[in-house]
Chains A and B, each alone.
Chain A
């Protein structure tokens, strides 16, 4: 059973800064099947990235995904105020525990 571990648990940054979020799998996974979601309080998750690096419809290009094997990364190039939220990685039936991106 695949376990996805996200780090850090909480990331404190300022608007305009670059955010790098990590997702590590307990065993090698096909990069075709790694997705990232954003969730704001009281809202459903929103798909950001699928296939490790493909942006979903309507997602700004400041969001990018990369990685392969067991190590994957979500990068937000320049943080906007609306980007502060919780981010989850996912592979089929497994979700990471989430990274909270908070304003510093």
Chain B
């Protein structure tokens, strides 16, 4: 069965960086993209970006351009999301999700990783 398993919770200081991993299993990793979505406490869902696991092409949300980098390691079927220059409003649960072939919907989700930014 398809599974996406994310790394554990992180606590970071303002200005630091965080890197969250998402290990996929149960399907051919390079046949789908991975999107990252975050959710601040008590808030809705915010799309952060997408990466093709086939060729590494990326598409980032404009508001995060320059601070976010998404990568994949096809040898381990793992996707990564790094966010730099963290601010308190980056505190959120970060989800990875498998994107459909056309990238328009997300059919399997990771369990989420809480990133807390606090001095």
Q: Decide if A88 touches B47 in the complex (CB within 8 Å).
A: no
Closest CB in chain B relative to A98 CB, distance in Å: 5
Is B80 interfacial (CB-CB < 8 Å)?
no
Stretch from A12-20, A43-51, A76-84 forming part of the interface with B: A43-51
A90 in contact with B105 given A95-B45, A95-B46, A95-B47 (CB within 8 Å)? yes
Residues of B within 8 Å of A96, CB to CB, are: 44
Residues of A within 8 Å of B109, CB to CB, are: 44-46
Is A103 interfacial (CB-CB < 8 Å)?
no
Q: Decide if A47 touches B47 in the complex (CB within 8 Å).
A: no
- A44: contacting residue among B47, B103, B104, B112, CB under 8 A: B112
Complex Cα–Cα for A44 and B50 (A): 18
A30: nearest residue on chain B (CB-CB)? B104
Q: Decide if B107 touches A56 in the complex (CB within 8 Å).
A: yes
Closest CB in chain B relative to A51 CB, distance in Å: 8
> How many B residues have CB within 8 A of the partner chain?
22
Closest CB in chain A relative to B31 CB, distance in Å: 17
Is B110 interfacial (CB-CB < 8 Å)?
yes
Complex Cα–Cα for A93 and B49 (A): 8
A1: nearest residue on chain B (CB-CB)? B62
A94: nearest residue on chain B (CB-CB)? B47
A50 in contact with B47 given A44-B109, A90-B105 (CB within 8 Å)? no
A50 in contact with B112 given A93-B47, A95-B46 (CB within 8 Å)? no
B108: nearest residue on chain A (CB-CB)? A47
Is A32 interfacial (CB-CB < 8 Å)?
yes
Q: Report which A residues bind B (CB closer than 8 A).
A: 32-33, 35, 37, 39, 44-47, 50-51, 56-57, 88, 90-98
Q: Report which B residues bind A (CB closer than 8 A).
A: 37, 44-47, 50, 59, 61, 95, 97, 100, 102-112
Listed from nearest, the 3 A-B pairs whose CB atoms lie closest are: A35-B105, A44-B109, A33-B104
CB<8 Å pairs between A and B, sample of 29: A33-B104, A35-B105, A37-B45, A39-B45, A44-B95, A44-B110, A44-B111, A44-B112, A45-B97, A45-B106, A45-B109, A47-B106, A47-B108, A50-B100, A56-B107, A88-B44, A88-B45, A90-B47, A90-B105, A91-B104, A92-B104, A93-B59, A93-B61, A95-B44, A95-B45, A95-B46, A95-B47, A97-B44, A98-B45
